[in-house]
Amino acid sequence: MQFSGKVALVTGGSRGIGRAIAVALAAQGAEVFCTSTKEGGCAETLAAIAALPSGSGKAQALVADVASAAAVEAFAKTLLERVGKLDFLINNAGITRDGLFLRMSAEDFDAVLATNLRGTFLVCKAFARAMAKARGGRIVNVGSVVGLTGNAGQANYAASKAGLIGLSKSLAQELASRSITVNVVAPGFIDTDMTAALTPEIRESMLKHIPLSRFGMPDDIARAVAFLCSDAASYITGQTLVVDGGMTM
């Protein structure tokens, strides 16, 4: 996979899966823009990309809350003014507000959908016209296996990720005539800061349900995203690629 001359945007690129995706795309020569919600949030991602072998891609950081239509419009305008195009759009920004359904507040439900689902809608909408005009591009939305299976204590998160799959399939149908593919990568249990907070007992219980007998790493997801951005995946659209070690098999 060679992405020289390509421009990529990774939302939520400050850490974990987002950082791994940004570095993987840059390692193949893409110029990568990363978003986070605070100034300097992507500093470690930019440093990791700068440390890649000479000739790899460049990276820039943008500050934005994808749940805000005004913020999305502003950073989309900034990116397109700087480089004039977007080849790869990776919607990775996401939050959790876990809690049992009967105790979950409407505010926590809305907040998760605002970032995870509405945010993806807003970012796709902000760049779809430019990608359509260029008659090509890749959109990869980072979902979750809980969008397929549900999960106790995550009604809001599961709903947002299930909605992401429906949104992606609809966009895939609408944008196909412009040679834009739209797919979802659905991670399983990935070792990130988010899952590190779980108790050892929960982690051990989860491991028993993974046939490959290990937790996934951010690079496992990054490689799947890079594949869907590549020419090798040019005939794949509207699909959900589950990367979970067989957990939901």
**Catalytic amino acids?**
157
Q: Which residues contact 212 (CB under 8 A, 6 or more apart)?
A: 245, 246
Q: CA-to-CA distance for 91 and 104, rounded, in angstroms?
A: 26
Q: Contact 126/80 with Cβ under 8 angstroms?
A: no
Least Cα distance to 148 among 136, 161, 131 occurs for 161
Spatial separation of the C-alpha atoms in residues 229 and 87, rounded to whole Å:
9
C-alpha span between 60 and 80 (Å, rounded) = 13
Question: Are 224 and 243 a contacting pair, CB within 8 Å?
Answer: yes
Question: For the stretch 106-120, what's the b/e string if a residue is b when 16 or more beta carbons lie within 10 angstroms of its beta carbon?
Answer: eebbebbbbbbbbbb
Interhelix angle 16-27/218-229, rounded to 10 degrees, is: 50
- Read off φ and ψ for residue 64, nearest 5 degrees: -165, 145
Exposed (0-12), middle (13-18) or buried (19+): which is 32, by Cβ within 10 Å? buried
- Which residue in this structure is represented by tokens 């950082």? 19
